Structure formats: structure tokens, C-alpha cells
Amino acid sequence: MEAYLNKGIKKIINQFPEVENILDEYGIGCAPCNVGTCLLKDIIEIHNLNTDEEQKIMARIAKIFYPGKVIKIPQIKRKNKARLKEISYSPPIKKLVEEHVLIKRWVALIPEVIKNLEVESKEGRQLILDGVDFIRSYADKYHHAKEEEILFKYFDEDLDILKVMHEDHKQARSHVKAILEALDRKDKAAIAEHFNAYGDLLNEHIKKEDEILYPWMDKNLSVTQIGELFSKFNEADEQIGYSSAKYEGFINRFEEKFKQKEL
Ligand SMILES: [Fe+2]
Ligand SMILES: [Fe+2]
């Protein structure tokens, strides 16, 4: 078992395709990820599974490696038990992680937006347009643009993981387009459907970036490149002419508005 634990997950999946299904059940999508640096034993730590889940998942995988045999599952030594809380990002990557926090606050408001959907009144339509403006101006032009036009350019864009990230951004844009088209038709169900799909997509996307992609990128960037990234991000923000603070104010107002409605 020890030998397999120290083997790259890509090789394991090639040899034992059933392992991929087990990982999928735990939301660990290794197959489309082409970073290729993770060993089987790292997968558990990277994805922050608890000890119970770790034992269950390893027992099932061991059955695939050694059908019909009883295998003692070694407890995987963790370098850091609370790894996720303690990932230390470089300053430019940390900036992107902080931008995610604001996007996640907006995504958390989507159920409230849907509950209050109103397409006939000016106020109701404005609420939808304000949400779309946040997505387009902040999540996309301010944040995704820094990833696509600056950060991702430091890596081989043919990597599957980067293709997946680009595809997520594209899909997010198509949901926004669909929301606006549905608003023209006053189609509440379609607006709700695409807001929900956008929220689910972004939650997953941000998780992949925060937990897998960014730490891996950080490990592979040189000190010079990190410095370069930092100044390129600042330049991009200056050029766009608005800051996170503008949209933080917007999210604060939105949260406040819905909190008052609940009172
Ligand atoms: Fe992204
Ligand atoms: Fe991002």
C-alpha cells in the first residue's frame, strides 16, 4: 500500500480507473486536473478530508489495488492538520483570494435575491441589474481579467486545469448573458435558474483556485515573478479606475437591505 501512497494520482487513475469514481464521490476531481504533482497520500491532505473520511476512502481504494485481500491501511501523516486555514499565499495571490471573499459574499446573497425577484417594478429590475453589474464589473472585469490576462500567462495555457478555469469563466459570462435576456422577457424562472447556476459554478471555481490552483502556482512562481505579478495587478487596478472598496460598499448595502427585510 505504501508504494501506491507515494505514486502520482494520474498514474494511479490510469492504472485503476475506478479510483477516479471514488475520488469524485468526495468532490475530488483529479481526472480533469493536469497539475500532476499530487501523490495519492497528498490528495487527502490537499482536500482537507477528516480522519474518518480518510480511512473510508483509503479502505475502498485498497480494495481496488488488492482485490479480495485484507490490507492494513496506514494512517497518513499530515504535515499540517489545519492546512486550509493556514495556506500562506504570496502577496499578489493573497489579493486574489481576498477578492474571492467579496464574490463569495455576493454568491451567498443569491438565494435572497431570488426570493425577492420582481421583474415588473423599476426597483425589482434594478436589483437584478445591480447584481449583474457586480458580476460583470467586479467578478469578471476586475478579478477574472487579472487571472486570465496576467496570472495564467505565467503558465502553460494548455494545462487542463487552466482550460477548466477559462471554461468556468466563459460559462459564468454565459449565465449573466442569459439573466439579462430573461429579464427582457420578464422570465423570472430563467433568471432564478441562471443566478443559481452562476452561484454554484463560482463556489466550486473559487474552491478549486483557493485550495489547489493558487497554492500550486505559488510554489512554481519565482520570487522575481511574484514581485512582477504584484506590480502588474496594481497597474491593472489603477487602469480600471475602481477598487474593491467600491464593491465592498455595494455588498454591505445589499446585505443590510436583506437583513432589514428579515426583521
Ligand atoms: Fe477564476
Ligand atoms: Fe478567481
236 CA from centroid of ligand 2 (Å): 15
Q: Is residue 196 part of a domain?
A: yes
Name the residues around ion ligand 1, CB cutoff 5 A: 147
In this structure, the answer to whether residues 156 and 29 fall within a common structural domain is no
Q: Is residue 73 part of a domain?
A: no
Q: Specify whether 112 is located in the same domain as 234.
A: yes
Three-state SS string over 124-191 comes to: HHHHHHHHHHHHHHHHHHHHHHHHHHCHHHHCCCCCHHHHHHHHHHHHHHHHHHHHHHHHHCCCHHHH
* Ligand 2 midpoint to CA 100 (Å): 6
Within-domain flag for 79: no
Q: Are both 220 and 154 inside the same structural domain?
A: yes
Q: Residue 78 domain-assigned?
A: no
Whether residues 139 and 255 share a domain: the answer is yes
The one-letter code for the residue type at 220 is N
Per residue of the chain (263 residues), give pLDDT as tens: 778 888 888 788 889 999 888 887 876 766 555 555 567 776 766 565 677 778 888 888 888 989 888 877 777 766 554 444 578 899 999 999 999 999 999 999 999 999 999 999 999 999 999 999 999 999 999 999 999 999 999 999 888 889 999 999 999 999 999 999 999 999 999 999 999 999 999 999 999 999 989 999 999 999 999 999 999 999 999 999 888 888 999 999 999 988 777 65
| pTM assigned to the model | 0.74
Together in a domain, 36 and 133: no
H or E element in which residue 259 lies: helix 244-262
Number of domains within the chain: 2
User: Which domain, by its residues, includes 255?
Assistant: 87-262
From ligand 1's centre to the CA of 206, what distance in Å? 7
Distance 262 CA to ligand 1 centre (A): 33
Residue 131 sits in the same domain as residue 254 = yes
User: CA–CA separation, 143 vs 97, rounded Å?
Assistant: 10
| Helix 188-208 with 91-115: angle, nearest 10 deg | 160
